[in-house]
Amino acid sequence: MSGIVFALSVFIVGFLAHLVYSHLVVVESKEPVLIRFMVAASVAYAVAYPFAAPILVRYIESPVGAWVDFASGLSAMGFFVLGYIEFWSLIERSFSLRILVDAAEVSGGLTREEISSSYSVGRGLDWMMKKRIDDLVGSRMLVKEHGDVRLTAGARVIARGFAAVQRAFALE
C-alpha cells in the first residue's frame, strides 16, 4: 500500500510541475513536454522508492513484500500517468468539446458556417486542421515532403492496428 501512496504523491508533484511549466513556458509542441514530465515522474518514483519505502512503512502498513509493494506502486503510477495523458488529450485536442465550448460562449444557436469560422475563438477549422497535422508531424507520425504529408513506418503500423480494432468493434 505504501508504494501506491508514494506513487500518488510523486504523480501529484509531476502533475503540478507540468501545470506550472505549461503556464510559464510557451512551446510549439506541447505533447512531447507532457510525455517528458510523465516519464520523469515515473523514473522519479522508481529511483526514490528504495529511499521512501522505509519511511512510508512506519506510517502505512504494508502486508506484502517490498517487491510487490514497489510493483503495485509502479502499476498505480502507470495508471495515473496514462489517465492524465488521456484527460489532457481530451481537453487539449477534442474537436467536439471545442465546439461545445465555442457554442457556450454565444447566447443563441450557431449555424454550421458560424461553427466553422468561429471554431476555437475564431481561429477556424483551417487552423484546427493545420494544428492537428502539425501535432502529428511533431510526434513523428507524419512527415512533410514537398507540401504533402505521408505516414512514417511506425504510424502506418499504428494506423493499421487501430483500423483492425475499429473493425473488430464495428466502429468504422
Instruction: Flag whether 24 is in a domain.
Output: yes
Count of domains for the chain: 1
CA 16, CA 111: separation in Å to the nearest integer?
A: 39
- For residue 18, the enclosing domain spans 2-93
Instruction: Flag whether 78 is in a domain.
Output: yes
Query: In this model, does residue 118 exceed pLDDT 90?
Result: no
Query: In this model, does residue 24 exceed pLDDT 80?
Result: yes
Contact criterion met (CB below 8 Å) for 143 and 152: yes
Is the four-CA dihedral 111, 116, 117, 122 of positive or negative sign?
positive
Query: In this model, does residue 66 exceed pLDDT 80?
Result: no
Instruction: Flag whether 88 is in a domain.
Output: yes
Instruction: Flag whether 119 is in a domain.
Output: no
Instruction: Flag whether 155 is in a domain.
Output: no
Which residue is associated with the grid cell 510526434? 139
Instruction: Flag whether 65 is in a domain.
Output: yes
Residue 15: which pLDDT band, with cuts at 50, 70 and 90? very high
User: Quick one: which H or E segment has residue 7?
Assistant: helix 2-24
